[in-house]
Amino acid sequence: MREYLKFYIDGQWVAPVTPRTAEVINPATEAVSGTISLGSPADVDKAVAAARRAFAAWGEASVKERLDLLEAIQAQYLKRERELGEAVTEEMGAPLSLGTGFHTLLGKGHLQTAIEVLREFPFERKAGTSIVRYEPIGVCGLITPWNWPMNQTCVKIFPALASGCTMILKPPQLAPYSAQILAEIIADAGTPAGVFNMIQGQGSVIGNALSTHPDVDMISFTGSEQVGVQIQKDAADTVKRVGLELGGKSAWIVLDDAAMAGNVAGATAGMMGNSGQTCSAGSRLLVPRARLDEAVKAAADACNAVTVGDPQGDFAMGPVVSKGQFNIIQDYIRKGLDEGAQLIAGGPGRPEGLDKGWYVRPTVFVGTNAMVISREEIFGPVLVVIPYDDIDDAIAIANDSDFGLGGYVSGVDADECRRVARKLRTGAIWINGGFDFHAPFGGYKRSGNGREWGEYGFHEYLEIKAIIG
Ligand code: NAP
Ligand code: MG
């Protein structure tokens, strides 16, 4: 049983102003796995005051001082990487190989990338005859979700630190453990008091207190559209900058070429990774209509090959994060059946033999882009295969979405993939499995605003000052 009852505020591990706790559930067993404290606005006031005091010095710290701190954090992170991965697995149910693999690798990658960008970042530039300075915005509230816990905390914390900001992190109630260990790592690395603070608790309380706080300069949020909209409204009265990374319904276009069936199989397996709980998941798979039978067979085979089970065992997929998410996904699967989508793999209910834990059957439908299951973010292992007539049709279908976060193009001809990518109205397009920590990540349309990752992530936390004459 884990017990994390203290917050990290002003360089100290402290009890909440008003003691209150909540149990955390292991989604693989439905059993209580530990206890955390829930904070109140009084804790937020303490943390914001500490962050404001610390900003006076940290905002002026040299690049060398910031680099030294990031490297000290990196040394601690590497020592405790396994522990972080185990915590991710316990809190949100990713298979241990994924928790201790890609989940912690993403956190480590954002840290290394912040170090690389900081070494080169021109905080002073010229524009015309003037000096343009990039200065830290100040005290930041960082509000993160449970689906890629290490990615989402690290992609905010390290660029914010590197930029000279001070911050208060509010981790998700569903996945509080890895954030707690990350806070220990940051504390043990010798971070100056008040520069980094962490308070656990409810979004409606702690998140709201941060969004409305007159002494918080910006909010960086990743999560649902609904909460993102609320934060934007809450932050409006104090004219805060708000960075939003919301949901998606990203299209994966498979070109009509020799690699088509293999690419469909790869895209299907990719969709089931992390139990489909990825904002940029390729949840609409666009395949050539003339070869629909071949594509359907490849998708069904790939889906049926995904093993589901105990995250501590050797399975490709664990449970989804909670009973609430399980029920949402079941509703969408039923909705897909009701609206006449053709089920080609998976379906409602738990996988055979798993009657405890929030396990979902990896599911593939063939449908149209007009169906609810093609329009709304399901956030589970549910893929919709949609046939296209020609490549212009594929591009039109991909762009016919309220969202604009990601996109994928797979095909033998990389130039043709890039041509298609240029036509897609989304913040990022991955071609043939490409991956780059320096590429910006963020949404067009209702997928949010602002960009994280690499140098682009720094700009979220920087003000621009002109010195003229
Ligand atoms: P969520 O409700 O948007 O929560 C994300 C974070 O915001 C959590 O830390 C949450 O705290 C906090 N929060 C909640 N209400 C708040 C408020 N009024 N003010 C400030 N912060 C607040 O996301 P979720 O409940 O975890 O998931 C719901 C849906 O969001 C999913 O089904 C999925 O569609 C989408 N989602 C998207 C992403 C993404 O990466 N784009 C990630 C996760 C979820 P609590 O701990 O109290 O919830
Ligand atoms: Mg919520």
Ligand nearest to the CA of 173: 1
Ligand of minimum distance to the alpha carbon of 228: 1
242 ligand 1 Cβ < 6 A: no
442 lies in a domain?
Answer: no
Assess contact for 22 and 38: CB atoms under 8 A. Answer: yes
Please tell me the predicted confidence (pLDDT) of residue 459: 98
Is 441 a pocket residue for ligand 1 (Cβ < 6 Å)? no
Alpha carbon separation from 219 to 118, 150, 223, 234, 284 (Å, rounded): 21, 18, 13, 11, 31
Taking only the tens of pLDDT, the chain with its 469 residues reads 999 999 999 999 999 999 999 999 999 999 999 999 999 999 999 999 999 999 999 999 999 999 999 999 999 999 999 999 999 999 999 999 999 999 999 999 999 999 999 999 999 999 999 999 999 999 999 999 999 999 999 999 999 999 999 999 999 999 999 999 999 999 999 999 999 999 999 999 999 999 999 999 999 999 999 999 999 999 999 999 999 999 999 999 999 999 999 999 999 999 999 999 999 999 999 999 999 999 999 999 999 999 999 999 999 999 999 999 999 999 999 999 999 999 999 999 999 999 999 999 999 999 999 999 999 999 999 999 999 999 999 999 999 999 999 999 999 999 999 999 999 999 999 999 999 999 999 999 999 999 999 999 999 999 999 999 9
Question: Which ligand 1 atom sits closest to the C-alpha of 405?
Answer: 41
**pLDDT computed for residue 47 by the predictor:** 99
Q: Are 129 and 156 found together in one domain?
A: yes
Residue 309's domain comprises 251-437
Q: What's 224's domain CATH number?
A: 3.40.605.10
Q: How far is the CA of 129 from the centre of ligand 2 (A)?
A: 49
CATH of the domain at 428: 3.40.309.10
Residue nearest to ligand 1 atom 32, measured at CA: 379
Q: Give domain status of residue 409, yes or no.
A: yes
* Closest ligand relative to 227 C-alpha: 1
Q: Are residues 91 and 23 in the same domain?
A: yes
Say how many Å lie between the CA of residue 227 and the centre of ligand 2. Answer: 7
Nearest CA, atom 15, ligand 1: 203
Note whether 207 and 268 are same-domain residues: no
Q: Distance, CA 329 to ligand 2 centroid (Å)?
A: 15
- For residue 55, the CA-to-ligand 2 centroid distance in Å is 31
**Residue 372: Cβ within 10 Å count:** 14
37 to 9, 43, 344: CA distances (angstroms): 14, 11, 44
Query: Best of 151, 220, 227 to mutate for ligand 1, by most ligand atoms within 8 A of CB?
Result: 227
Atom of ligand 1 nearest to the CA of 228: 3
**pTM of the full structure:** 0.98
Q: Give the model's pLDDT for residue 122.
A: 97
Task: Tell me phi and psi for residue 343, to 5 degrees.
Answer: -80, 120
State which ligand 1 atom lies nearest to the alpha carbon of 246.
41
Residue 407 belongs to some domain of the structure? yes
184 CB-near residues (< 8 Å, 6+ apart)? 8, 80
Same domain as 225, residue 306: no
State if residue 113 touches ligand 1 by the CB under 6 angstroms criterion: no
**CA 278 to ligand 1 centroid distance, Å:** 13
The verdict on 114 and 236 lying in the same domain is yes
The C-alpha R_g of the chain, in whole angstroms, comes to: 22
Catalytic residue numbers read 245, 279
370 and 419: one domain? yes
Closest ligand 1 atom to residue 230 Cα is: 18
Extract the tokens encoding 6. Answer: 């203290």
Q: Is residue 260 part of a domain?
A: yes
Residues 150 and 107: beta-carbon distance below 8 Å = yes
Residue 311 within any structural domain of the chain: yes
Quick one: 310 and 338 in the same domain? yes
Closest by Cα among 458, 428, 457 to 444:
428
Looking at the structure, do residues 183 and 277 belong to the same domain, yes or no?
Answer: no
Is the beta carbon of 147 within 6 A of some atom in ligand 1? yes
232 CB within 6 A, ligand 1: no
Residue 113 is assigned to a structural domain of this protein = yes
**Confidence at residue 351, expressed as pLDDT on a 0 to 100 scale:** 98
Is 351 inside a domain boundary?
A: yes
- According to the model, what pLDDT value does residue 385 have? 99
Q: pLDDT tens across 248-284, in order?
A: 999 999 999 999 999 999 999 999 999 999 999 999 9
Query: 240 alpha carbon to ligand 1 midpoint, in Å?
Result: 19
Do 424 and 463 share a structural domain?
Answer: no
Does any ligand 1 atom lie closer than 6 A to the CB of residue 200? no
Detail the DSSP E strand segments found in 215-362. 218-222, 241-245, 251-254, 284-288, 342-345
Residues 53 and 112 placed together within one structural domain of the fold:
yes
* 176 C-beta closer than 6 A to ligand 1: no
Q: State the pLDDT at residue 243.
A: 98
Domain tally for the chain?
2
Residues 229, 371, single domain; the answer is no
**Residue nearest (by alpha carbon) to ligand 1 atom 18:** 204
Gap between the Cα atoms of 410 and 455, Å rounded: 27
CB of 245 shorter than 6 A to ligand 1: yes
231 CB less than 6 Å from ligand 1? yes
| 458 membership: H or E segment, kind and range | helix 454-460
Residues 230 and 323 reside in one and the same domain: no
